[in-house]
Structures are given as structure tokens and as C-alpha cells.
Amino acid sequence: MKTTYTLLSLLSSVSAYSDLVVSSLTTHQPNGSPSGQVNYYSIAFTVNSTNGNSSSSGYCHASWGDNYCAFCNTGVAYSVNVPTGSYISCDSSRANLGDQTSEFGFQLHPYFSIGNFSVSVQQSFTDSSSGSAQQVIASGMIHVTNTTAQYTCTINPQEITSATVHASGDCSIPPNQRPYQISLTTTTTACPPASTVQTSFPVTASTTQGQSIHLTGNISELGNWSPANAIPLYADQYTGSQDLWNGTVGLPAGIAFEYKYFLRDAEGGVRWECCENRRFVVSGSTCGMQTAGNGPDYFRD
Ligand SMILES: *[C@@H]1O[C@H](CO)[C@@H](O)[C@H](O)[C@H]1NC(C)=O
Ligand SMILES: *[C@@H]1O[C@H](CO)[C@@H](O)[C@H](O)[C@H]1NC(C)=O
Ligand SMILES: *[C@@H]1O[C@H](CO)[C@@H](O)[C@H](O)[C@H]1NC(C)=O
Ligand SMILES: *[C@@H]1O[C@H](CO)[C@@H](O)[C@H](O)[C@H]1NC(C)=O
Ligand SMILES: *[C@@H]1O[C@H](CO)[C@@H](O)[C@H](O)[C@H]1NC(C)=O
Ligand SMILES: *[C@@H]1O[C@H](CO)[C@@H](O)[C@H](O)[C@H]1NC(C)=O
């Protein structure tokens, strides 16, 4: 058994990058009711990847205006306003965060109809497995069509129901067709050596009015453990569903450090998060921004 494992890990370190996996894909078009208040079309899918030394996923979505009644008589049942020709970025999340970011984007192509379209997906990530970091863009295309039962619709893609209400419904990949595998072509660019690497520190922390989250650590760039010289984080992405604080610091490439978050209350009092210090090593090159920790850290009360 041991021999087999060694062989497998040897093989995987020299193998090409793995396919992107589209685990869900849906499109939706409301009926564009006569008064026109629900005129949009949307496409959404989840793409997963194990490239770039971690698993990562993107929730990819776009909405656009559909056929207003001005178009209803033109014999086109689906939106004519499809955004084509450029990559739309997906919301990305990354488990077991490695030392660099991983981003997804997608692009729609003409000809587009509700049950028949092509979508290109690309993933951009950094690969350090060969020693010197390189930026990889891996991309591939799938053609999605309802004619081979790989994609089912509650809607007839050609249907025009009336001059004022057009085709409406949803399409999705049936369970027995999931997931779609997207095979890749890749381009790689060497990441240049850096002196400073922008490093972000996202952390989820539930706070109340007047409280703020700060960061310090054992290097001067992070204030040498002094709350007075700590880095304030920002709550501009803090929402009802996500208690996110975040900030970015330029750090010397290759440096190892320890850090911790603390909460400052309205009166200026400091409450440290518990437990051992966090540790991180800054990459030695600049291919995008780095994120410290394993995805957003969470404030350890
Ligand atoms: C893809 O990633 C999402 C979010 O991280 C996860 O919920 C889902 O199980 C993953 N799917 C596959 C096929 O790995
Ligand atoms: C599906 O799309 C392709 C091009 O992507 C087009 O040639 C074909 O006519 C379309 N089929 C239908 C039924 O609309
Ligand atoms: C994967 O990432 C970890 C953490 O950054 C690193 O220690 C390890 O060397 C990386 N492995 C490869 C094969 O790049
Ligand atoms: C597939 O699309 C055709 C028109 O292009 C339509 O007549 C048919 O109902 C659709 N089938 C399914 C299963 O969605
Ligand atoms: C934190 O901020 C940086 C810089 O704006 C950004 O790239 C990163 O995506 C943010 N992290 C999260 C989890 O939003
Ligand atoms: C900071 O902590 C890291 C990790 O423990 C250590 O390698 C490094 O020497 C420390 N730096 C300083 C300036 O104490």
C-alpha cells in the first residue's frame, strides 16, 4: 500500500492540471409580465477546482434585461441583451487556502438561447509546485444544449407566448448528468520576484456599534504586538449575513511572522482573541495579492 501511495503522489506532482467541475448550472427567465417589472434573465453555476494546491470554487452568475415588449414580436423568446465577449468574475472561495489567490471568471458567447449556449470558464491561480511560482490561466468551454438531455428546461427555448408575455421558466443540469467536466488549455507566466507582497487579512468577527477589529504581530509592519501600532481592519463588506472585517498590508517577500486579531471597544479597551498565535509565510514573488490564513480567519472569542 505504501508503495502505491508514493507512486500516486509522484504521478500527481507531474500531471497536468485537473478539469474544472461544473457541479450545478441553472438559467432562469421570468415571464416579463406586461407591465415589464420582472424583465431579466439569469444564469448561475458553481465551478470547483483542485488546481493551484488547494480546492477552490466559484459561484458564477450574471443577470441581464430580457426582451421588453418592444422585442416581443421579433420572434426571439429569450433575452437579446446577453453580455458576451468578456469575462465576468465569479465570487470565489477557497478551502485549504494555499499561498496565493485563485479566481474564476466566465464568458457567454453568441449564439445564445435559453436552452442552447456556450460558456467559457477560466481559473487563474498561482502554482509554486515547481519551486518558482508561476501564474496559470486555465480555461475551457462547454456547449450546453437541451437537445441531448444534458440540460433540461421547463421552458421551450423558441416559445413566444404572446406579444406581451414571452417564454419563462428554468433550465438546469439533471442530476444524472452532473457534473460537467471542462477540460483545459493553460497558459503560464512566471511570477516575478518581489520585495513587497500585498497581503490581505480577512476575518469574520461579530461586532456591535463602536467596536472595531485590529491586527498585530511580531514584525514591525504589523506593529510589533503593540495595540497602539496595530493595523485597523475595515468593515466595508460587513453585512447582515457576513461579519467580515478585512485589511491589506504590504509585507516583505518571504518573511515568516506570527499575528493575532484583537477587538477594540468604544472606550478603547482591548480584547485579544484566544489561543496560540497565528503563523504565516509571505510568498517570495508577486502574482496577485496573498491572503493570510485559511480563507477568512474567524475571531476566536
Ligand atoms: C464545490 O464547492 C462548493 C463550495 O465550496 C461545495 O459546496 C461543493 O460540494 C463542491 N462540489 C464539488 C463537486 O466538489
Ligand atoms: C444552438 O446553438 C448553435 C450555435 O451555438 C446553433 O448553431 C444552433 O442552431 C442552435 N440550435 C437551436 C435549436 O437553437
Ligand atoms: C501547497 O501549499 C502549502 C501552503 O502554502 C505549501 O507549504 C506547500 O509547499 C504547497 N505544495 C505545493 C506542491 O505547491
Ligand atoms: C429543447 O428545445 C426545443 C426547441 O429548441 C424545444 O422544442 C424542446 O421542448 C426543448 N426540450 C426540453 C427537454 O427542454
Ligand atoms: C480582502 O481585501 C482584499 C483587498 O481588497 C481583497 O482582495 C480580498 O478579496 C478581500 N477578502 C475577502 C474575503 O473579501
Ligand atoms: C516572527 O515569528 C516567526 C514565526 O514564528 C519567526 O520565524 C520569526 O523569526 C519571528 N520574527 C521576529 C522578528 O521575531
Q: 290, 126 in Cβ contact below 8 A?
A: no
Ligand 4 centroid – CA 144 distance (Å): 12
Given this model, what pLDDT does residue 41 score?
84
Check if 102 has its Cβ closer than 6 Å to any atom of ligand 1. no
Given this model, what pLDDT does residue 98 score?
46
Given this model, what pLDDT does residue 24 score?
93
Q: 261, 273 in Cβ contact below 8 A?
A: yes
Given this model, what pLDDT does residue 291 score?
82
Which cell goes with 286? 508577486
Q: Which residues line ligand 4 (CB under 6 A)?
A: 115, 146-147, 152-153, 156-158
Element housing 11 (H / E): helix 2-14
In this structure, the residue with its CA closest to atom 2 of ligand 1 is 57
CA dist 285 and 290 (Å) reads 10
Ligand 3 centroid – CA 294 distance (Å): 13
CA dist 99 and 198 (Å) reads 12
Reading the chain (301 residues) residue by residue, the pLDDT tens digits are: 333 333 333 333 344 899 999 999 999 988 766 555 567 889 999 999 988 767 888 999 999 876 555 555 555 667 777 899 899 999 877 654 444 567 899 999 988 887 889 999 999 888 877 767 788 899 999 999 887 788 998 887 667 666 666 678 899 998 888 889 999 999 988 888 889 989 999 999 999 999 999 999 999 999 999 999 999 999 998 988 889 999 999 999 989 999 999 999 999 999 999 999 999 988 887 777 788 876 678 999 8
Long-range contacts of 174-179 (CB under 8 A, 24+ apart): 174/149, 174/150, 177/149, 177/150, 177/151, 178/23, 178/24, 179/21, 179/22, 179/23, 179/24, 179/48
In this structure, the residue with its CA closest to atom 6 of ligand 1 is 57
Given this model, what pLDDT does residue 235 score?
96
Of 19, 296, 282, nearest in space to 133 by CA: 282
Minimum-distance ligand to the CA of 296? 5
Check if 52 has its Cβ closer than 6 Å to any atom of ligand 5. no
Domains of the chain: 14-189 (no CATH), 196-298 (2.60.40.10)
Ligand 2 centroid – CA 113 distance (Å): 8
CA dist 38 and 103 (Å) reads 31
Ligand 2 centroid – CA 210 distance (Å): 57
Q: 54, 95 in Cβ contact below 8 A?
A: yes
Q: 144, 150 in Cβ contact below 8 A?
A: yes
Given this model, what pLDDT does residue 209 score?
94
CA dist 179 and 81 (Å) reads 28
At 300, which amino acid appears?
R
If you search the block for the grid coordinates 500516486, which residue do you land on?
8
Given this model, what pLDDT does residue 137 score?
92
* Nearest atom, ligand 2, residue 109 CA: 5
CA dist 19 and 181 (Å) reads 6
At 281, which amino acid appears?
V
Minimum-distance ligand to the CA of 117? 2
* Nearest atom, ligand 6, residue 277 CA: 5
Q: 128, 54 in Cβ contact below 8 A?
A: no
Check if 148 has its Cβ closer than 6 Å to any atom of ligand 2. no
Distances (CA, A) of 107 to 43, 87, 186, 288: 11, 5, 16, 22
Ligand 1 centroid – CA 57 distance (Å): 7
Name residues whose C-beta falls within 8 Å of residue 228's C-beta, 6 or more positions apart in sequence: none
Given this model, what pLDDT does residue 161 score?
64
